Structure 1
Amino acid sequence: MTETLSLTPFQSKLCSSFTKSKVKVLQINLGRRCNLACTHCHVEAGPKRTEELSPEVCEQLIQVIQTFPEIEIVDLTGGAPEMNYGFKPLVQAARIARKEVIVRSNLVIYFEPGFADLPEFFAQNQLHVVASLPCYLSDNVDKMRGYGVFDASIRALQWLNQQGYGKEPNLILDLVFNPQLPISEEKFSLPPEQGKLEQTYKMFLQEHFGIVFNHLFTIANLPVGRSAGYLQRQKLYVPYLKFLEDNFNANTIEHLMCRNELSVDYLGNIYDCDFNQMMNLPAKTRNGEVLTVTTLLEAGTLDLIDEIQTAPYCYGCTAGSGSSCGGALVED
């Protein structure tokens, strides 16, 4: 949008070239299929989406997992990753290769026909579950994710607890908070202090539902996907970006998830992060060539990226305490 020209280019905020560290995380978006259509979803996933991983790309990704020992974490996302082709084969290949596997679960998928085995499958494979629960109050969750989702999420968390999640050291259960979308400029906000909110979540969920979990991740709403569409309709898109820029924190830069991550889409294209993936801003080699999984396998290395691609929405990851798939980046 031409309006974004009023913003300071993100690249100009950086004191040095914005380069990759050693790649340790392979994040795979298996597709856009999902049983929910959340109002803030940057992927714009939903029940009517059909895009998903192909068998050919799945085999290539398994080869990547087996080929590169420097990959420590395989991070599976979607849509609902569990609904899309290749989920279980990728889990099994990664666990055989002794990688940590993260599944980003919406929780309520367990109650869809054909998916009731998931909590047990997660526990058997010691998957690290990162589950979306954008608030500990039912009204706020249902407004963002759909009527009845809070109650179903509670039942799902109790189910995971019964499998040992949040209790046994190898069964990690983390929750994700993100704010509601703002209704006016006066309502712009960053996520609250992560540690304090985690304690509030833990006390409330334990007291009311007997639920335990490991950590809470606070994540900002980036103006991408449905969030961007909402902000544009409310004429808040540029003001919100300016708000994020005004809260830029240079201390977050070295901790950004794009520094040591490769993000892969269901077609096998490579991006620096999931947000760049959704905005079709591909990662490029030092020669300016667009990267794919095929490129990595042919080159025999993951270290092909010179400069990380940036855009105005990068201010969302660097505002305040920062935001990433692992929550806040620095302490307040």
Structure 2
Amino acid sequence: MASKTLTPFRKKLKTPLIKNKITVLQINLGKRCNLACTHCHVEASPKRTEELTPEICNQLIELIHRYPQIQTVDLTGGAPEMNYGFKPLVEASRLTDKEVIVRSNLTLYFESGFEDLPDYFAKHQVRVVASLPCYLEDNVDKMRGKGVYNDSIRAIQWLNQLGYGRNLDLILDLVYNPPLPFSEKFSLAPDQAKLEQDYKMFLKEQFDIDFNQLFTITNLPIGRTKFHLQRTKVYAPYLGFLERNFNSDTVEYLMCRNELSIDYRGNVYDCDFNQMEEVPAKSRTGEPLTVGKLLDVGSLDVIDEIRTASYCYGCTAGCGSSCGGALI
């Protein structure tokens, strides 16, 4: 339906979207999660069982050891900490002096068997990027489940006590997602710098909480967000809204330019969103890539052109959006 009126994203660009040198490895360890958030583009939940295998984990560790050009290993899920291979990947990355990011939902620290996570993060100086889609309780619980806000606040206070958000080598960032729309009254994420100050003021006054940065991330129309938009009959209008707000200045800074996204099966994608939509990255000869093929070829830089789709408008609307927040 949307394709009849929507300009194909590739035609919006003045030149093809070319891959730069790879410096970021983002790994989705699996679909297992203790939450089932309404906006989750991964469609993770406690009922999902897909996760990394020992074979793929070993290949990833070899990749991390082999390529010093990788500066950051970004671990996501699901709840990445729940899935096989999490700690081996953290330790391999830190051993090779790479930054490690964990995309944490915070509430997992109170689940049996995961109480050691905050101390483990601090020991290995893991950068925690945590979802807190609003600083108000009602909005968070509507998106993520009843009681999630209070558990998140407790978890952040725990991290603060360990030095996160307060010591220079223990980084804690929070992530804002806009509420899902129920009508055609769409809006982009608020100004990131201004919203960060609002978060910091409220959380400090109410809970004595400190954190480093706030990342504002657009809800891309994939996964559960796409299902919601389709149920409320605003999927095509939402894509049109994103296209109308296309900002060519964001293209230079898109996260897909310098990262590889890898799933729990070892398949390679240009970004996490292409991974969820099963749009694999392709080599210069046109074949889909895997971790095994990257090891065989002996290079990470084997992709010329990034594959795009209509949801790419979500990353280029307004100030742009990425796993690191606004782009400009």
Counterpart CA distance in 2 for 1:171 and 1:179 is: 27
SS in 1 for 2:155: helix
User: Where does structure 2 lack aligned partners over 5 or more consecutive residues?
Assistant: none
Q: CA deviation at 1:5?
A: 2.8
Matching residue of 2:205: 207
Q: CA deviation at 1:211?
A: 0.3
Counterpart CA distance in 2 for 1:277 and 1:183 is: 26
**TM-score, normalisation: structure 2:** 0.99
Q: Does 1:84 align with 2:96?
A: no
Matching residue of 1:33: 32
| Partners of 2:320 and 2:327 within 8 A in 1 | yes
Q: How many residues align?
A: 328
Identity of aligned residues (%): 69
SS in 2 for 1:171: coil
Aligned residue type for 2:255: M
1:219 to 217, 220, 239: 217
Aligned residue type for 1:238: A
Segments of 4+ moved more than 2 angstroms: 2-5
Q: Does 1:295 align with 2:293?
A: yes
Matching residue of 2:182: 183
Matching residue of 2:246: 248
Aligned residue type for 1:161: N
| Partners of 2:261 and 2:271 within 8 A in 1 | yes
Q: Does 1:231 align with 2:233?
A: no
Matching residue of 1:308: 306
Matching residue of 1:264: 262
Matching residue of 2:163: 164
Q: CA deviation at 1:122?
A: 0.2
User: Where does structure 1 lack aligned partners over 5 or more consecutive residues?
Assistant: none
Counterpart CA distance in 2 for 1:251 and 1:282 is: 26
SS in 2 for 1:185: coil
Q: CA deviation at 1:123?
A: 0.1
| Partners of 2:2 and 2:239 within 8 A in 1 | no
Residues 190-215 of structure 1, C-alpha deviations (whole Å, 9 max, x = no match): 00000000000000000000000000
**TM-score, normalisation: structure 1:** 0.98
| Partners of 2:283 and 2:302 within 8 A in 1 | yes
Aligned residue type for 2:138: D
Counterpart CA distance in 2 for 1:5 and 1:277 is: 25
Aligned residue type for 1:328: A
Residues 225-260 of structure 1, C-alpha deviations (whole Å, 9 max, x = no match): 000000001111110000000000000000000000
Q: Does 1:68 align with 2:67?
A: yes
Aligned residue type for 2:124: N
Residues 22-71 of structure 1, C-alpha deviations (whole Å, 9 max, x = no match): 10000000000000000000000000000000000000000000001100
Matching residue of 1:318: 316
Counterpart CA distance in 1 for 2:2 and 2:152 is: 39
Q: CA deviation at 1:17?
A: 1.8
Q: CA deviation at 1:3?
A: 3.3
Matching residue of 2:108: 109
The Cα RMSD (Å) is 0.5
Counterpart CA distance in 2 for 1:185 and 1:3 is: 15
Counterpart CA distance in 2 for 1:3 and 1:295 is: 35
Counterpart CA distance in 2 for 1:7 and 1:100 is: 39
Matching residue of 2:11: 12
Q: CA deviation at 1:306?
A: 1.2
Counterpart CA distance in 1 for 2:248 and 2:168 is: 34
Matching residue of 1:140: 139
